[in-house]
Structures are given as structure tokens and as C-alpha cells.
Amino acid sequence: MSASATEQNRQNDNMALTEQNEAGLVEHTEAENSHEGGHTLFAEPIFHIADFPVTNSLLTSWIAVFFIIILSLVIRTRLKKIPSGFQSFMERVIEGAWDMMDMVTGSRRKSEQAFPIVFSIFIFILVNNWLGLLPGVGAITYDGYPLLRGGTADLNTTLALGLFSVVAANIFGIVVVGTWSHLNKFINLKALIEIPKKIIKEPTIVLINPIHFFVGLIEIVSEIAKIASLSFRLFGNIFAGEVLLASISAMMAFGVPLPFMFLEIIVGIIQALIFAVLTLVYFTIASTEHEAHA
């Protein structure tokens, strides 16, 4: 009887422990599935298109693209020879952008060539930065996750923007200076080829040109570093701003967050401008001949 009672008690203890573990697992799952608009480092999936997950930051980016397309079409349909107030404002913005780009490129021709990409990047980042500040963004939830999240507050978006900027700058360099001249900035075969030709007249070329070759390889690392620099800078500033606003709103929802809101609006402009200017700098460097760049 004693052995049977001991075995029965052991079974009861095991059943109770199993029920506690299952209850804890359910609570943990429910806690994960209800973020209540919280901020996480990763974007949350909202729905799927086939096997492709659509995250809340991607959805916000699509809204930004849609808004920019509609705005562009409206501006285009209202162009007049005698500009209205809005058209005059947009013309001043574009002229100001060209003047600022001229200070970086030193050439209006290069500015006009790079303008469509650089200005588009600026507008896209600016709209995404500001969409994350709209009232309700992050508070409206769907299936336990925030429905919308600032696109630039997601590292995936900023990494894609950084990769696009660097790749576009290199393509721009190939178009402007030619494939051979541009690739010699990274794999300087020209420096190695010149050694047998000039070794008699310039014996020091045996030491100098191999250094030029290895410096070119370092440029490859520099290109990768540009992607990380662009993406992490933008992501860090925008994500930190949204977390700050969420924290201030949680402590005191009325009145106090307004100054921080205006501050983040300015930060959104500055970060978009920095990203666009750095992209323009990369375009300018890529379109410079290797000898002049060195």
C-alpha cells in the first residue's frame, strides 16, 4: 500500500508539473503575440503574399511610395507656364537642391545626372521618417502587432537603401568614367601592368605600384563600410526617436510629447538630408578619374 501510494503521488506531481509548464508556455506565447504597440528591433509580419511576409515597416514603405507617386502626378498635371504658388515653391526647392548639389559635385552637369536618384532618395526617406511620427502609427494593432511602423525604423529598409546607394554610385561611375577606369579604383591591374614598362626608367615603381594595388583592395572594404555607415546611422537615429516619443507618451500623454515631436520632425529632415548628401558624395567620387581621385 505504501509503494502504491508513493507511485500515485509521483504521478500526481508529474501531472501538476506538466499542467504548470503548459500554462507557462501559453502565457509566454500570449505575451509574445501581444506587443501593445511596443517597439522592437525587428519588423513584425502583418500578412503573407504566398510565402512572402509583408511586415508593418514594408507596408508603411509602400504607403510612402504610393504617396510620392500620387504627389508627382498631381504636380505634373498642374504645371503651367505662369507658375502658381505651389509650383513656384517646388521650383525653388528644386533650384535650391541643384545649387546645394553643385557645391558637392562642382559641376551642374553631374548634378543634373545624379539629381533624379539623389532627390528621390531624399524624398522617400523624408516621407518614411515623418510617417512614423503620425498619431496612431504604432498604436493601431493588427493580430497583436502594430499595423504601421516607420519604414526607416527597420534595419532591413535602411540596409536596402544603403546597398542601393552604393551600388548606384558605382554604376554611375562606370557610366561616367568607363568600366576599366572605375574598376581600377578597386583592382588596380593598371598599376601592375605598368611595372614591366617603366621599371628601367623608374626602378622605384616596383615598390610603389604594388602599394597602389593593395590600396585598391582596401577600397573594396571601404565600399562595404559605406553600406553599414549609411544604414546604421539612419536606423539608429529614427528608431531612437520613435522609442523616445513612445516612452514620453507613456509617462505623460498630453502636452509633454509635443516639443519632442517637433524635434523629431527636424531630425527626420536632417537625417534624410545627410543620407542624400552622402549618396551624392559617393556619386561624385565614383565619377572622378582614378588619377584625380588618388
Tens-level pLDDT at each residue, the chain (294 residues): 444 555 555 555 555 555 555 444 444 444 444 444 445 667 778 877 888 888 888 888 898 999 999 988 888 888 887 777 778 888 888 888 889 999 988 888 888 888 999 999 999 999 988 887 776 565 666 666 667 777 888 888 899 999 999 999 999 988 888 888 888 777 777 767 777 767 767 777 767 767 777 777 788 888 889 999 999 999 888 888 777 777 776 676 665 667 777 888 888 899 999 999 999 999 998 888 654 444
Please report the pLDDT score of residue 69 as a whole number.
Answer: 92
Burial class (CB in 10 A: 0-12, 13-18, 19+), 160: middle
Spatial contact of 60 and 52, defined as CB atoms under 8 Å apart: no
Torsion, Cα of 165, 169, 170, 173 (10° steps): 170
| pTM for this prediction | 0.75
Q: Give the span between the Cα atoms of 151 and 59, in whole angstroms.
A: 8
Torsion, Cα of 253, 259, 261, 264 (10° steps): -140
Please report the pLDDT score of residue 293 as a whole number.
Answer: 47
Spatial contact of 164 and 175, defined as CB atoms under 8 Å apart: no
Domain locations in the chain as residue ranges: 48-293
Please report the pLDDT score of residue 32 as a whole number.
Answer: 43
Q: Give the span between the Cα atoms of 164 and 88, in whole angstroms.
A: 31
Neighbours of 241 (CB within 10 A): 24
Please report the pLDDT score of residue 18 as a whole number.
Answer: 52
Please report the pLDDT score of residue 119 as a whole number.
Answer: 93
In single-letter form, the type of residue at position 227 comes to: I
Q: Where are the beta strands (DSSP E) in the chain?
A: 45-49, 52-55, 141-142, 145-146
Please report the pLDDT score of residue 278 as a whole number.
Answer: 93
Please report the pLDDT score of residue 164 as a whole number.
Answer: 94
DSSP line for 18-73: HHHHHHHHHHHHHHHH--TT---SSPPEEEEETTEEEEHHHHHHHHHHHHHHHHHH
